[in-house]
Amino acid sequence: MNDDVFPRAWGVTRMKYASSLKGRLGWQGLSADEYREEGPYVVSSAHFRDERIAWELCPRVSTERYLLDSNIHLQPGDLLLMKDGAALGKLAFVEDLPGPACLNSHLLLFRPKQGAYWPKYLYYYCATKYFQEYITVRGTGATFLGVSQETIGNHPLRLPAIDVQQRVADFLDTKTAAIDALIEKQERLLALLAEKRQVVITQAVTKGLDPSVPMKDSGVDWIGRVPEHWDVAPLGARYDVQLGKMLDATRDDGDGEFPYLRNANIQWGKIDIDDIKRMSLSARDREKYRLVDGDLLVCEGGANINVVAKSAIWRGELAECYYQKALHRLRPRRASESPAFLLQSLWAAWAQGVFIAGANPNTVFHLTAVKLRAHRVPFPPAAEQLTIGAHLKAALARLDGVVARLRERADRLREYRQTLITAAVTGKLDISAREPEAARA
């Protein structure tokens, strides 16, 4: 225990002596057909929103299933913690219950023993940098980081008097509510800018920049009407589409190990080369799969359905690079075609769900080369493609600048919130003195 973190006068115990800790390995044998339209709620970390439970998102089960295990029934004042996985340390405080509810997999429940602490105070305590670092450092697992109930139970817990805990919790309720309102304002503005971005791109790549030109029906729902002098054609008519090299760890018939791109390297409009893998390639493979400046790379599929059709242009970031089968390479058949225009056209279609229409979000969806070649795209004359591309580059740069500033403000507010909580819970902030002003956005 680091005595420098908390006042020495505060009492010290272990989490397991102050709190009843309850976890569950998961509903044994619970199948999808056991979910009900009505009945008790089942809570997992997927239903946490802003450190509360979004009850409308929770699945429901029969009362008979709920009654099988009273140990995981929830009560107002309970604190829930995600104890493993990517969301390790994620919290939710149960302010109230809309009806009977119970705990599901990977969560740990905290409930005070005989008034050992003020429930909302423990929520703020577990949100501090101090506690979050404690569970992260003690997490185990090579690929799936987790912290055991025993480790959390042995956490040394310093607490002030119960009346002080209540004052701290009330103070933080007021202050964090004000900060959260400012963060929400930034998030609303970001959502509006995301909508504007979609409108700007879709308008440019389907209607052009001159509103006075005659229009015609494109025959494609997501495109609608287009300028009369534009072509609407299958993508494969203008671009060569080639799937990448299949990885085969059992074969090593190449001339050496060479860098290649995969889905993880492709972001919309950007290629991340910070984590480049290497694979064995023959001379023939190197000729076939080598990337050249201007190649457009499109994600073929993935476990996350939103990855499908994600695209970026290769600009020679490495002197020599290749690509694997999870990616399509689109190369213009004529030098006059603009991959930058096609990239924005693909984004406009993706934003409207064109590539995943009818797909099952619970399965791996593939955008095959056949589907991609058949995808119909508006094609302005070559010079107009370049003009539209330049217009979008400037317009999106302005939007991105505003977005970056809003995100920076939201991040600063979140950091201030975390710092305020830690200072109050560790006794560094005297809440009996004049309360500090909330940070400006």
Could you give the 3-state DSSP secondary structure of residue 226?
Answer: strand
Task: List Cβ neighbours of 106 (8 Å cut-off, separation of 6 or more).
Answer: 26, 44, 45, 82, 83, 84, 85
Phi-psi region of 358 (alpha: psi -120 to 50; beta: other; left: phi over 0): left
**Nearest CA to 238 among 393, 346, 138?**
346
**Contact assessment for residue 135 and residue 152, using Cβ atoms and an 8 Å cutoff:** yes
| Residue the block writes with tokens 């044994």 | 28
pLDDT on residue 440: 42
What type of residue sits at position 203?
Answer: Q
- 333 within 8 A of 239, measured Cβ to Cβ: yes
Using CA atoms in the order 377, 380, 385, 387, what is the torsion angle rounded to 10 degrees? -140
Q: What pLDDT sits at residue 383? A: 96
Average pLDDT of the chain is 89
Q: Fill in the DSSP letter of residue 335.
A: T
Query: Which residue shows structure tokens 């004042």?
Result: 77
Residue 26 has a pLDDT of: 53
Contact 425, 168 (CB under 8 A): yes
219 backbone dihedrals φ, ψ, rounded to 5°: 80, 5
> How many residues are present in the chain?
441
Residue (of 144, 27, 25) closest to 87 by Cα position:
144
d(CA 227, CA 218): 9
- The DSSP call for residue 38 is S
> What's residue 231's pLDDT?
96
CB-based contact 294:314 (threshold 8 Å): yes
Could you list the pLDDT tens digit for every one of the 441 residues in the chain? 455 788 888 989 999 999 998 876 455 566 777 888 899 998 988 889 888 999 999 989 889 888 888 888 999 999 999 988 888 899 999 999 999 998 887 888 999 998 899 999 999 999 998 899 999 888 887 667 788 889 999 999 999 999 999 999 999 999 999 999 999 999 999 999 999 999 999 999 999 999 999 999 999 999 999 999 999 999 999 999 999 998 765 555 667 899 999 999 999 999 999 999 999 999 999 999 999 999 999 999 876 777 889 999 999 999 999 999 999 999 999 999 999 999 999 999 999 989 887 655 555 678 999 999 999 999 999 999 999 999 999 999 999 999 999 999 999 999 999 999 999 999 988 876 544 444 444
